[in-house]
């Protein structure tokens, strides 16, 4: 484990190593999360709860797939695309994966430039991230359309186990919703960064609290989480 | 232990004073070189390509399962540790966030046993005899 980063150098006291440090941080009427603002801690806790929601979806998919006696449709063939007369397995999903990973890369760099107070680069990188996200959602809409035309429904499909459609629409639909919300969130924060809200600590419209560049990192946590969930969906739903 | 804590404190405050001295007063928070992100980005591409190739070459059985899970865990670890900066957070936060998902693994175990039992009953009573 690397050395703890100093978010608020003045407040962060020295850390005891290992379990003693954890016990000391959580004990004796203290703030448990010392060098992390409430906004960041709350985002992490929200993401933890979201982890459980996605886990439940993936678990119910696993249970349906393991307990059915009807063969499960082969995702490698279902999601194949025809390019120049050749069937290439899962190609659309692979491209979507690379797009989402790229958006995570640009987001990480946006956070970095945010803490350097480089307004133009931060907002530009956030808008690139949003564009990648919108592309991802567009490709997902294409994929849904293709499958619906081929006759996949939540209650059945032409290739095998009836639960395939329900699992697919539920899991990818919920993930796509997260990406869409993330794109809106990104555009809103990018606008604030570009306008210089965080340089003058302008108060927020809803919260009336001062804005800081840390919101870019908190936004980044959400976005990376969306990418993280896709890693699991890609492995467990599409590749399994 | 007290000495160690004082020593740690000295180490932790040293970079902050250094930053003030060089005039970069505003540069606080998670500051890491851009190169680190680009390297992780590259690795995520490599690992995604690897997991795609597992499907492309049609590997099957335990080899497929173990490779897919390996690449999945590596990718998730890179994203959480570097992109989400968990490697630089205090352990009190890291354990509070990373430990609870272990409960999901317990849930997975329960549901694997349960669905195998359901499958067994369906085979026994509902499947058409072949």
Interval B50-87: pLDDT, tens: 999 998 888 888 999 999 999 999 999 999 999 999 99
Q: What is the mean pLDDT of residues B114-127?
A: 91
Which is more confident, B32 or A165?
A: A165
Per-residue confidence (pLDDT) for residue A3, from 0 to 100:
63
Encoded tokens for B81: 């540790």
Q: Is the pLDDT of residue B9 over 90?
A: no
For A63-84, give one letter per residue: b (16+ CB within 10 A) or e.
bbbebbeeebbebbebbbbeee
Q: DSSP string of B54-91?
A: HHHTT--THHHHHHHHHHHHHHHHHIIIIIT-GGGS-H
Encoded tokens for B86: 């968990």
> pTM of the prediction?
0.84
Which is more confident, B28 or B36?
A: B36
Per-residue confidence (pLDDT) for residue A7, from 0 to 100:
59
Q: Chain A closest CA to B22's CA: distance in Å?
A: 14
Residues of chain B neighbouring A33 (CB-CB closer than 8 A): 90, 92-93, 96
Q: Do B6 and A14 touch (CB under 8 A)?
A: yes
Of B29, B45, B69, the CB nearest to A217: B29
Per-residue confidence (pLDDT) for residue A197, from 0 to 100:
87
Q: Is the pLDDT of residue B27 over 80?
A: no
Percentage of residues in chain A with pLDDT exceeding 90?
A: 65
Q: Do A4 and B123 touch (CB under 8 A)?
A: no
Domain A38-238 fold:
1.20.120
How confident is residue A89, by pLDDT bands cut at 50, 70 and 90?
confident
Q: What is the mean pLDDT of residues A16-32?
A: 79
How confident is residue A5, by pLDDT bands cut at 50, 70 and 90?
low
Per-domain boundaries in chain B: 2-89, 100-130
Task: Please name the residue of chain A whose CA is at the shortest distance from the CA of residue B108.
Answer: A59
Of A16-20, A134-138, B47-51, least confident by mean pLDDT is A16-20
Residues of chain A neighbouring B70 (CB-CB closer than 8 A): none
Q: DSSP string of A159-227?
A: SS-THHHHHHHHHHHHHHHHHHHHHHHHHHHHHHHHHTTTTTTPBPTTT-PBP-THHHHHHHHHHHHHH
Per-residue confidence (pLDDT) for residue A28, from 0 to 100:
65
- For an interface test with A, the pick among B14, B93, B103 (most A C-beta atoms closer than 10 Å) comes out as B93
Residues of chain B neighbouring A59 (CB-CB closer than 8 A): 104, 107-108, 111
Per-residue confidence (pLDDT) for residue A36, from 0 to 100:
85
Residues of chain A neighbouring B93 (CB-CB closer than 8 A): 32-33, 36, 41, 44
Among B85, B41, B40, B74, residue whose Cα is nearest residue A231: B74
Of A54-63, A208-217, B42-51, B101-110, least confident by mean pLDDT is A208-217
Per-residue confidence (pLDDT) for residue A143, from 0 to 100:
94
Which is more confident, A121 or A206?
A: A121
Q: Is the pLDDT of residue A17 over 50?
A: yes
Residue pair A228/A157 in contact (Cβ under 8 Å)? The answer is no
Which is more confident, B60 or A128?
A: A128
Encoded tokens for B58: 């049609």
Residue B26 DSSP label: T
Q: Is the pLDDT of residue B120 over 90?
A: yes
Residue A29 DSSP label: T
Q: Chain A closest CA to B88's CA: distance in Å?
A: 4
Residue pair A186/A127 in contact (Cβ under 8 Å)? The answer is yes
Residue B99 DSSP label: S
């Amino acid at each position: 484990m690397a050395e703890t980063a100093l978010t608020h150098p003045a407040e962060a006291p020295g850390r005891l190593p290992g379990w003693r440090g954890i016990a000391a941080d959580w004990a004796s009427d203290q703030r448990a999360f010392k060098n992390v603002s409430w906004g960041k801690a709350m985002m992490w806790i929200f993401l933890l709860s979201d982890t459980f929601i996605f886990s439940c979806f993936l678990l119910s998919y696993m249970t349906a797939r393991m307990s059915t006696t009807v063969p499960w449709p082969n995702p490698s063939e279902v999601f194949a695309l025809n390019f120049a007369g050749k069937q290439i397995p899962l190609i659309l999903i692979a491209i979507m994966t690379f797009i989402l990973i790229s958006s995570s890369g640009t987001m990480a760099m946006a956070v970095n430039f945010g803490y350097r107070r480089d307004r133009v680069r931060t907002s530009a990188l956030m808008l690139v991230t949003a564009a990648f996200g919108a592309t991802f959602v567009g490709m997902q809409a294409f994929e849904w359309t293709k499958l619906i035309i081929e006759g996949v429904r939540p209650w059945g499909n032409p290739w095998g186990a009836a639960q395939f459609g329900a699992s697919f629409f539920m899991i990818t639909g919920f993930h796509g919703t997260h990406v869409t919300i993330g794109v809106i969130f990104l555009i809103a924060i990018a606008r604030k960064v570009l306008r210089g809200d965080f340089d003058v600590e302008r108060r927020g419209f809803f919260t009336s609290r001062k804005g800081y560049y840390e919101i870019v990192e908190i936004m980044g946590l959400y976005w990376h989480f969306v990418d993280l969930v896709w890693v699991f969906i890609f492995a467990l739903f599409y590749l399994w | 232990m007290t000495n160690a804590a004082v020593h740690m404190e000295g180490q932790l405050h040293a970079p902050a004073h250094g930053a003030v001295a060089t005039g970069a007063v505003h540069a606080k928070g998670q500051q890491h070189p851009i190169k680190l992100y680009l390297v992780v980005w590259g690795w995520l591409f490599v690992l995604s390509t690897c997991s795609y190739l597992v499907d492309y070459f049609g590997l099957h059985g335990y080899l497929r399962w173990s490779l897919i899970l390996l690449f999945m865990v590596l990718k998730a670890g890179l994203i959480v540790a570097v992109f989400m900066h968990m490697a630089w957070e205090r352990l009190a936060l890291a354990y509070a966030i990373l430990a609870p998902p272990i409960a999901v693994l317990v849930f997975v175990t329960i549901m694997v046993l349960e669905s195998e039992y359901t499958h067994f009953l369906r085979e026994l009573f509902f499947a058409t005899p072949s």
